[in-house]
Amino acid sequence: MTSRGRSRPRRLYQEPEAVTWAREKSGLTKRALADLVGISEQLMGEIESGWRSATPANLLKIAEALNCPIVVLERKRLSGGGAPPGGTPAR
């Protein structure tokens, strides 16, 4: 029997730290933001920690609830020879 370990998604739509920063700046708890978005507090925590990717629709709802431009919360895409998300640049 093989065990399946939990792994982070390969692609995130959101920048987890930006979501946390914007939520804290707005004075909301994870539970309050999750209620506004219509998701569970657990999912909100997983989005903020990077364990789950927010769907594009949920990311838009998060941005609206935080009165924040969605571009602030979106994962930045690198072009060319940059580092992969969470990696270090090649030298």
Q: Tell me: the pLDDT tens digits for 43-58? A: 999 999 999 999 999 9
Q: What's the pLDDT at 10?
A: 77
Give DSSP secondary structure letters for 46-82: HHHHTSSPPPHHHHHHHHHHTT--HHHHBPPPP-SS-
Q: What's the pLDDT at 1?
A: 54
> All domains of the chain, ordered by start, with CATH?
16-68 (1.10.260.40)
Nearest partner of 28 among 4, 63, 59, judged by Cα: 63
pTM here is: 0.76
Q: What's the pLDDT at 4?
A: 65
d(CA 60, CA 54): 9
Collapse the DSSP code of 14 into the 3-class scheme (helix H, G, I; strand E, B; otherwise coil) and give the result: strand
Query: Which phi-psi region, left, alpha or beta, contains residue 50 (left: φ > 0; alpha: ψ -120 to 50)?
Result: left
Q: What's the pLDDT at 88?
A: 44
Region 18-23 average pLDDT: 97
Nearest partner of 62 among 52, 51, 76, 48, judged by Cα: 48
